[in-house]
Amino acid sequence: MFPLYPHLLAPLDLGFTILRNRVMMGSMHTGLEEHPDGFRRMARFFGDRATGQVGLMVTGGISPNDAGSLGLGGATLNDSGDGHRLITDAVHQAGGKILLQVLHGGRYSRHPDAVAPSPVASRINHHVPRALSNGEILQTIEDFASCAQRARDAGYDGVEIMGSEGYLITQFISLRTNQRDDDWGGSFENRIRFPIEVMRRTREACGDDFIILYRLSLLDLVEGGLSWDETVKLAQALEAAGATMFNTGIGWHEARIPTIMHSVPRGAFTWATARLMGKVKVPLIASNRINDPAQAEALIASGQANMVSMARPFLADADFVAKAMARKADEINTCIACNQGCLDYIFKGKVCTCLVNPRACYETELVIEPAPSKKQIAVIGSGPGGMSYAITAAERGHQVTVYEAADRIGGQFNMALAIPGKEDYGETIRYWGSQIKRLSITLKLNHQAEAAELQASGYDEVILATGVRPRALDLPGIDHPKVMSYVDVLQEGKAVGERVAIIGAGGIGFDVAEFLSNADGPGDPAKPDIDRWLREWGIDRDPSHDGGLSPAGPVMQSPRRITLLQRKAQALGRGLGMTTGWAIRAELQMKGVELVGGVTYRKIDDAGLHITVDGEDRVLNVDNIVICAGQEERRDLNTDLLASGMTVHLIGGADVAVELDALRAIEQGTRLAAA
Ligand SMILES: Cc1cc2nc3c(=O)[nH]c(=O)nc-3n(C[C@H](O)[C@H](O)[C@H](O)COP(=O)(O)OP(=O)(O)OC[C@H]3O[C@@H](n4cnc5c(N)ncnc54)[C@H](O)[C@@H]3O)c2cc1C
Ligand SMILES: Cc1cc2nc3c(=O)[nH]c(=O)nc-3n(C[C@H](O)[C@H](O)[C@H](O)COP(=O)(O)O)c2cc1C
Ligand code: SF4
């Protein structure tokens, strides 16, 4: 009805040249929306991505009124929207287009004035919402329309109406949250009246030449979610009411199924978008875990979608599209779906950034400029800390030599990528490799750096990024042949028996349990077994169950009986990421891994591992005991270097040994080199 993007429906001209017009940067609320200096920083953030050839992008969710804001003081657009001009000007000057996402939180709003169709509280928010009156519903619809109008006045090319992930619109649509018996509840037709009216009034208010993208929940992944037939009917009704195109939304936030984290296979949900192709005439956009240009292009070429949305990949690399179009895809800094710098930060109330790109959302502050004087710099260690320092320093014009004792770059990321689900960590190593070539960094592999050699070479500065070594455990029997470290398992490939105890349930302990409970080992991230993953998590590919759910359960049994142990008496996995920990725990439980806390380790002998739990002595009769009991800084070189008068900087694990802390290592390396 509103073919503002006729090229999306036209035949393809392949070769990555399509990506500028077929890739959209998906909506991400970064926390800059509420930051005092947010508009200036967002202008730079979005402007950089437009310069990087992203043709279309969407802002983070902005509420149309105070009740719908995500938290107290959450961003709304119910005033003149002056600050937004900075954003739209920056994007337009760089030749891009930008939509404002209108998102009403409904019962997900974390404040006492939260409203919803019915007073049904959510598992993930302790505020019980108040039911909207009929008059308030009509006013909320007007608020959506006038918010879109203000967005238009502020220069936006359109809006995205957030109709998925369990926010207000979905709360109206689902029986799970809508218990009304008036015109807005009960029958399907009544329940979809709210989104249809929002669309109709927004179109009326903004005119035909304004893009109205609607984020449609293709799979609710909760009990009481929409059936497939209802989803199609909703899409058709929204199309008739004025939608320009549809973006894919997957899963309510309260769903017990992961939808974006690292263990979600690439392109895990594109089939849901493909299923809607042909059911409506307007273009459809696929989303979630699409992080590779060849994957994006293949998706469009095969007719599974008209366009692809990528959100986090543009945190990881503002120049993703430009690099792909210049046929330099190997230089893309790929999103590894760790959630550590983005979603986890948002949940902690921090401004979002990116583990592999600490400049994301800090573009105005973390500036990389040519160095006033060029130096000779030695970087010892090619893990995340060393590589991020080396790349940034070389970009500034310094002459950098990287020494690496191993036969390959990457440090501990070489172990991380062996974990099923973390295969994408290998992409970061690939990216670092491409930058070594591009920036002519000298790389000395299989080269254990020594103080005398470094001093003789006359470096101006030495960066010690030598990482960590596993912490030794003081326990009777620790030298028993059954005992091995996580390095023996993940790096040395030592054979592990069928009954295993893992000592230490930090991030690495959980990763080792994942590794050992998986019969296949890591896979090729470009060819994931999506069907198996969907069956394991109980996601229905056939449109037979409401909400897209089907019975879950392990498709492949663990080849080992594994017990994961920790000293602390609390639940295991507390230290894992806020947005990933619950799913990692669930994955292990699915595979039958026993999680035991409050353990006192007594000794190891031929009988196995002797422990005490809740005052009761137990012997775990196991073939192997894998030690994942923390790490300590590896900085032996430091004393000798300092004694010889050299300028030395410690970064990453060599500075502070914390288990899963590549985020800190990369940020520290980048910031030190930028300074
Ligand atoms: C299985 C596993 C999974 C992980 N998953 C995650 C995760 O999901 N998220 C996260 O944030 N972190 C994760 N980590 C931790 C992360 O990899 C580390 O925090 C990070 O690698 C630390 O970086 P670094 O540069 O300080 O040191 P390292 O990565 O340890 O690199 C140090 C390098 O220095 C080299 N070296 C040491 N001494 C010398 C010398 N004298 N001369 C030359 N070279 C030397 C070493 O060979 C090594 O390559 C994981 C770690 C493991 C083991
Ligand atoms: C930090 C962060 C904030 C997000 N905020 C929003 C939001 O405000 N509105 C929205 O529709 N989706 C939001 N999302 C979801 C993304 O739009 C996207 O669906 C998700 O990240 C999966 O796509 P990706 O794998 O390309 O990142 C957010 C995601 C992240 C990581
Ligand atoms: S922090 Fe991790 S998940 Fe988030 S954008 Fe960066 S690489 Fe991707």
Q: Two tokens at 339?
A: 């959630």
Q: Nearest-CA neighbor of 102 among 175, 156, 183? A: 156
Q: Any idea how long the chain is?
A: 675
* Whole-angstrom distance, CA of residue 611 vs CA of residue 603: 7
449-467 average pLDDT score: 95
Q: Which residues contact 520 (CB under 8 A, 6 or more apart)?
A: 420, 556
Q: Residue 312: CB within 6 Å of ligand 2? A: yes
| 3-class DSSP state of 462 | strand
The amino acid sitting at 115 is V
Q: Best substitution site from 259, 260, 273, 285 to test ligand 2's pocket, by max atoms within 8 Å of Cβ?
A: 260
386 Cα nearest atom in ligand 1? 25
- Single-letter code of the amino acid located at 166: G
**Residue 360 CB neighbours (<10 A):** 27
Closest ligand to Cα 466: 1
Q: Is 101 in the pocket of ligand 2 (CB under 6 A)?
A: yes
- Residues 634-656 have pLDDT tens digits of 999 988 888 888 989 999 999 99
Is it the case that residue 416 has pLDDT exceeding 90?
yes
Rounded CA-CA distance 183/500 in Å is 59
pLDDT of residue 79: 74
- Residue 462 binned pLDDT confidence (cut-offs 50, 70, 90): very high
Segment (H or E) for 545: none
Contact 97, 91 (CB under 8 A): yes
- What does pLDDT average to over the chain? 94
* % the chain with pLDDT above 70: 97
**DSSP, residue by residue, 587-629:** HHHHTT-EEE-SEEEEEEETTEEEEEETTEEEEE--SEEEE--
Under the banding of pLDDT at 50, 70 and 90, the label for residue 170 is very high
Going by pLDDT thresholds of 50, 70 and 90, the confidence category of residue 557 is: confident
- Is there a contact between 537 and 552 (Cβ–Cβ < 8 Å)? yes
Catalytic pick from 108, 167, 345, 486?
167
Q: Provide the β-strand partners of residue 377.
A: 400, 461
Q: Give the distance between the most distant pair of CA atoms in the chain.
A: 83
The preferred substitution site among 261, 339, 667 for testing ligand 3, maximizing ligand atoms within 8 Å of CB, is: 339
pLDDT per residue as tens digits for the range 83-126:
999 999 999 999 999 999 999 999 999 999 999 999 999 999 99
* Dihedral angle over CA of 495, 499, 505, 506, nearest 10: 20
Question: Is ligand 3 within 6 A of the CB of residue 377?
Answer: no
CB 380 within 8 A of CB 444: no
Distance CA 107, CA 174 (A): 13
* Range with the poorest average pLDDT among 16-20, 434-438, 508-512: 16-20
d(CA 25, CA 172): 27
Q: What is residue 17's predicted lDDT score, i.e. its pLDDT? A: 52
CA nearest to 147, candidates 205, 200, 96, 108 = 205
* Residue range 291-313: mean pLDDT, rounded: 94
pLDDT band at 551 (very low <50, low <70, confident <90, very high): confident
Ligand nearest to the CA of 469: 1
Q: Looking at residue 14, what is its pLDDT? A: 44
- 431 given a catalytic annotation: no
The 10 Å Cβ neighbour count of residue 302 is 10
Are 508 and 416 in contact by the 8 Å Cβ rule? The answer is: no
Ligand 2 atom with least separation from CA of 312: 27
Residue nearest to atom 12 of ligand 1 (CA): 660
- β-pair partners for 401: 378, 442
Q: Is the CB of 335 under 6 A from ligand 3?
A: yes
Question: And the tokens for 654?
Answer: 């060599």
Q: Tokens 């990933």 correspond to what residue?
A: 580
The token duo for 267 is: 């392109």
Mean pLDDT of 539-549: 82
* Residue identifier of the C-alpha nearest atom 34 of ligand 1: 381
Q: What is the pLDDT of residue 89?
A: 97
| pLDDT-based confidence at residue 28 (cuts at 50, 70, 90) | very high
